[in-house]
Structure 1
Amino acid sequence: MIPVAVASAVAAGLVAQLVDGGLGMGFGTVATALLTGLGLAPAVVAAAAASAALVTGTVGTAAHLRFGNVHWPTAIRLGAAGAAGGFTGAWALAALAGLGTATPIASAALLAVGAALAWRGYRGTLPAGPVRHALTVPTGLVGGFTGAVAGTWGPVTVPVLLAVSRLEPRKAVGSAAAGQALAAAGALLGFWAFAPQSLQVAMPLAEGLAVGGALAAPVAAWLTGRVPAAKLTATIGMLAVALHLRALLTGLALPWPAVAGLYLVLAAAWALALAGPRRRPVPAIPEQRAAPVEAEAQQ
């Protein structure tokens, strides 16, 4: 393998994990885009991304656990379902054709979820109450499948967790990171069973991605707990919008100025979401002084 390609994989893994470890998504997308750009087959790309995600997910889980960012009941449900989905996705990618891209309907739905999260973060209205698990297993199944096929575990699981589970944003990110390690393990078992040659070709680049991601994982986990919950929610929502918009635009032959304009609008919307709504100052209530006590009549 060309040393420059491996060095590029290390750098990409480091940058991608800083984003993924802090916001719960981005590592698989960046890894898949890099490897696809090198002209590798879809099964090789997916096997390399899953191999790296197993390492970075494990290191990231340890770091998130250290900072209290993991909700284990959610992480275990999500990860177990993700492992089943990842195994199925590896089989489908090895056996079928045309699975390398997300469907427009799914991307549009998740884009809408991201926009709703960005609005929630902008308003600062975060849900509270007991954690909900109703959609955790279906989310893990779908996230594991799409993670094995297209590297989109985070863009599927984190927005849905934030939208319906009532988890704190940092715990949604940490729980998704813990689940990703199990989902990646399931995908690797599938590639080993159905496309073992893809793992052999992918290993050098996967090692580069894993090294870069492992270096960045502790820093990213630390940052997750330092960002205010509303701003973290808004940022995760806008990143989900950007990633799923990218998937929708892939099949369209838009000129680059139009695409650049769309992402500039997204950047402006993200800045607005971070700023939050303008708070009107509460008028000060004039202090009321007690009436002076009259002096007793002089005798």
Structure 2
Amino acid sequence: MSVSIAVVSAAAAGLVAQLVDGALGMGFGTVSAALLTGIGLAPVVAAAALASASLVAGTMSAAAHTRFGNVHWPTATRLAAAGSAGGFVGAWALASLAGLDGATPVASAALIAVGAVLAWRGYRGRLPLGAARTGFTLPTGLVGGFAGAVAGGWGPVTVPVLMAVSRLEPRRAVGSAAVGQAAAAAGALLGFWIFAPQSLAVGMPLAEGLAIGGALAAPFAAWLTGRVPAAQLTATIGMLAVALHLRALLADVPLPWPAVAGAYLLLAALWALALTGPRRRTAPHIPEQRPERVEAGA
């Protein structure tokens, strides 16, 4: 494959991946990492290229989500601070430690369970909205930043946790995660620049393609987040989290392809069910009765 074809392919992949990521909070890193490693790049080179692309696409996405009012800043700033630290440590670890893997079976199984809970909430239409909780954001950002630097796993880690415990509207959870993603990518990029500078030069052409595609898709994806009903958005994010973490969980399991295809077809059917499932009925609106004026007696 020539360099020009590879860059164009990367741009197309970045555009599609950012459409999903910008609207649902996950997908850009996972799709891009699969593309980069699939064409034979070493893990550290692929991760450095992904960090470069995520910084550009993530910044555009964060700006667009801010423009559409999708960001809860107390949550976003905490995620950003912790995510940048986690990204820096992840870059150091990937450049320095052999055989490092960004996902573990236990973590994947736990996040599959979180995704299933979100899908059930979306199916029932019972979303725990209220005063935002931010105490969990620092550990979530640290783990998400580390996973993002190592394997492009920022969104699949942070967004399901935000959706599960933050009490934010789904669109604001996604937008806050987008702000954190840009900071996490910046921390990872700094780490790769210090600990593995040669990796940046090797993967830069593909990183530019991913960044261009992601930047083009970011505004529309952020706009779309605010247009999807909250219950359907929650169900879709939950099922996407299940699918992505199931992929990580089954990566080293030698299953025949019909079994894998059947599992994902089942997930697609469950997603369709979650989108059309029963919703909580809201009480009918009863107009306020104003007291009748009493005429003063003659």
TM-score interval, smaller chain: over 0.9
Task: Return the letter of the residue paired with 1:14.
Answer: L
- State the TM-score, normalized to the length of structure 2: 0.93
Partner in structure 2 of residue 253 of structure 1: 254
Hey, which bits of structure 1, 4+ residues long, moved more than 6 A? none
Structure ID, larger Rg: 1
Residue pair 1:159, 1:240 contacting (<8 A) in 2 also:
yes
Partner in structure 1 of residue 40 of structure 2: 39
Task: Return the letter of the residue paired with 1:235.
Answer: T
SS in 1 for 2:131: coil
Partner in structure 2 of residue 121 of structure 1: 122
Relative to structure 1, is the Cα distance of residues 279 and 145 closer, same or farther in structure 2, using a 3 angstrom cutoff? closer
Partner in structure 2 of residue 86 of structure 1: 87
SS in 2 for 1:166: coil
SS in 2 for 1:113: helix
Residue pair 2:126, 2:280 contacting (<8 A) in 1 also:
no
CA-to-partner distance for each residue in 1:262-288, whole Å, 9 max, x for gaps?
0000000000000022789x9xxxxxx
Kindly state the Cα deviation for residue 12 of structure 1 after the two structures are TM-superposed. Answer: 0.2
Instruction: Summarize the alignment of residues 33-182 of structure 1 with structure 2, pairs less than 5 Å apart.
Output: 33-182=34-183
Residue pair 2:29, 2:50 contacting (<8 A) in 1 also:
yes
CA distance in structure 2 between the aligned counterparts of 1:52 and 1:69, rounded to whole angstroms = 22
CA distance in structure 1 between the aligned counterparts of 2:51 and 2:114, rounded to whole angstroms = 25
Task: Return the letter of the residue paired with 2:218.
Answer: A
CA distance in structure 1 between the aligned counterparts of 2:182 and 2:120, rounded to whole angstroms = 30
CA distance in structure 1 between the aligned counterparts of 2:274 and 2:267, rounded to whole angstroms = 10
CA distance in structure 1 between the aligned counterparts of 2:273 and 2:258, rounded to whole angstroms = 23
Unpaired runs of 5+ in structure 2?
284-298
CA distance in structure 2 between the aligned counterparts of 1:279 and 1:208, rounded to whole angstroms = 44
Task: Return the letter of the residue paired with 1:129.
Answer: G
Kindly state the Cα deviation for residue 129 of structure 1 after the two structures are TM-superposed. Answer: 1.8
Task: Return the letter of the residue paired with 2:105.
Answer: P
SS in 2 for 1:48: helix
Unpaired runs of 5+ in structure 1?
283-299
CA distance in structure 2 between the aligned counterparts of 1:65 and 1:54, rounded to whole angstroms = 16
Kindly state the Cα deviation for residue 99 of structure 1 after the two structures are TM-superposed. Answer: 1.7
Task: Return the letter of the residue paired with 1:254.
Answer: L
| Pairs aligned (count) | 281
CA distance in structure 2 between the aligned counterparts of 1:55 and 1:194, rounded to whole angstroms = 21
Residue pair 2:121, 2:234 contacting (<8 A) in 1 also:
yes
Instruction: Summarize the alignment of residues 18-33 of structure 1 with structure 2, pairs less than 5 Å apart.
Output: 18-33=19-34
CA distance in structure 2 between the aligned counterparts of 1:109 and 1:203, rounded to whole angstroms = 34
Partner in structure 2 of residue 203 of structure 1: 204
Task: Return the letter of the residue paired with 1:243.
Answer: L
Kindly state the Cα deviation for residue 134 of structure 1 after the two structures are TM-superposed. Answer: 1.5
SS in 1 for 2:121: helix
Residue pair 1:56, 1:214 contacting (<8 A) in 2 also:
yes
Residue pair 2:124, 2:280 contacting (<8 A) in 1 also:
no
CA distance in structure 2 between the aligned counterparts of 1:128 and 1:55, rounded to whole angstroms = 31
CA distance in structure 1 between the aligned counterparts of 2:43 and 2:101, rounded to whole angstroms = 7
Partner in structure 2 of residue 10 of structure 1: 11
Partner in structure 2 of residue 292 of structure 1: none
SS in 2 for 1:77: helix
Relative to structure 1, is the Cα distance of residues 279 and 226 closer, same or farther in structure 2, using a 3 angstrom cutoff? closer
Task: Return the letter of the residue paired with 1:75.
Answer: A
- State the TM-score, normalized to the length of structure 1: 0.92
Task: Return the letter of the residue paired with 2:81.
Answer: A
Relative to structure 1, is the Cα distance of residues 148 and 189 closer, same or farther in structure 2, using a 3 angstrom cutoff? same
Task: Return the letter of the residue paired with 2:242.
Answer: V
Identity of aligned residues (%): 79
Relative to structure 1, is the Cα distance of residues 77 and 101 closer, same or farther in structure 2, using a 3 angstrom cutoff? closer
CA distance in structure 2 between the aligned counterparts of 1:223 and 1:129, rounded to whole angstroms = 23
CA-to-partner distance for each residue in 1:128-171, whole Å, 9 max, x for gaps?
22100121000000000000000000000000000000010000
CA-to-partner distance for each residue in 1:206-242, whole Å, 9 max, x for gaps?
0000000000000100100000000000000000000
Partner in structure 1 of residue 272 of structure 2: 271
Residue pair 1:19, 1:25 contacting (<8 A) in 2 also:
yes
RMSD: 1.3
